Chain A
């Protein structure tokens, strides 16, 4: 039973560029959430997708956008990259949007912006 998978593992981009990160949820899960984890900090919520729509959003600018596909996989897009966007981006899946569901996380994508 495959868990949450994310790609790529590492990514180096230049300031101003755009990046797309990908996530496949755990089998049986239909909800995907994205988190940003800066070095030495806890994960910060970016947004959540369910039924191919953005359901919830954290305090992140519109440069951060996403998409969910019919097979429940998801993409996170970040435009006009800033140095401060350097972080570990974590994808988490859950069976539904209920707030009491534990999140299952992938290994993350380490983004470095130079």
Chain B
């Protein structure tokens, strides 16, 4: 099966706290891509990052960082020093040659309180 699991339905933190959003995936493909998207209240999914299955190097972009571990089939997303504007639903997604669409997890709703 090709699927993405985001076990955390909702997370609430206070501004300036660090927060990690978990993502676990399953796929039979040896080559695949993982993505993170942010969905603010406006509804539009905003692309944040793409990672291919052969690149396990962690990535940092400003306050955002991503930890990809093939050994545990996880692609976790950390926001450092969270801000109110980070409040949104975050989706992890998976795509590969063995299936015909981008598979999304159920999402994690992050609320950052001032």
A90–B52 CA distance with the chains assembled, in angstroms? 25
B residues in contact (CB < 8 Å) with A: 4, 33, 35, 37, 42-47, 50, 52, 91, 93, 95-97, 100-107
List the A side residues contacting B100 at CB < 8 Å.
45, 48, 56-58
Residue of A whose beta carbon sits closest to that of B103: A45
A108–B44 CA distance with the chains assembled, in angstroms? 7
- Check if A100 sits within 8 Å of B33, measured CB to CB: yes
- Check if A99 sits within 8 Å of B95, measured CB to CB: yes
Is A106 at the interface (CB under 8 A from chain B)? yes
B46 to nearest A CB, angstroms?
8
A 47-86 contacts with B by CB, 8 A: 48, 56-58
A residues in contact (CB < 8 Å) with B: 33, 40-45, 48, 56-58, 88, 90, 92, 99-100, 102-108, 110
Q: Contacting B102 at CB < 8 Å: which of A41, A45, A57, A106?
A: A45
Q: Contacting A99 at CB < 8 Å: which of B45, B46, B47, B96?
A: B96
Listed by A's residue number, 7 A-B pairs whose Cβ atoms lie within 8 Å are A40-B106, A43-B91, A44-B104, A56-B100, A88-B43, A99-B33, A105-B46
A99–B103 CA distance with the chains assembled, in angstroms? 11
List the B side residues contacting A45 at CB < 8 Å.
100-103
B65 to nearest A CB, angstroms?
19
Residue of A whose beta carbon sits closest to that of B37: A105
A104–B48 CA distance with the chains assembled, in angstroms? 11
Known: A99-B33, A102-B50. Contact between A42 and B95, CB under 8 A?
no
- Check if B47 sits within 8 Å of A90, measured CB to CB: no
Top 4 A-B pairs, shortest CB-CB distance: A45-B101, A42-B104, A56-B100, A105-B45
Q: Contacting B91 at CB < 8 Å: which of A33, A42, A58?
A: A42
Question: Known contacts A105-B37, A110-B43; can you find 11 more A-B pairs with CB under 8 A?
Answer: A40-B107, A42-B91, A42-B107, A45-B103, A90-B43, A92-B45, A99-B33, A100-B50, A102-B35, A107-B43, A108-B44
List the B side residues contacting A107 at CB < 8 Å.
42-44
Known: A48-B101, A99-B97, A102-B50. Contact between A42 and B106, CB under 8 A?
yes
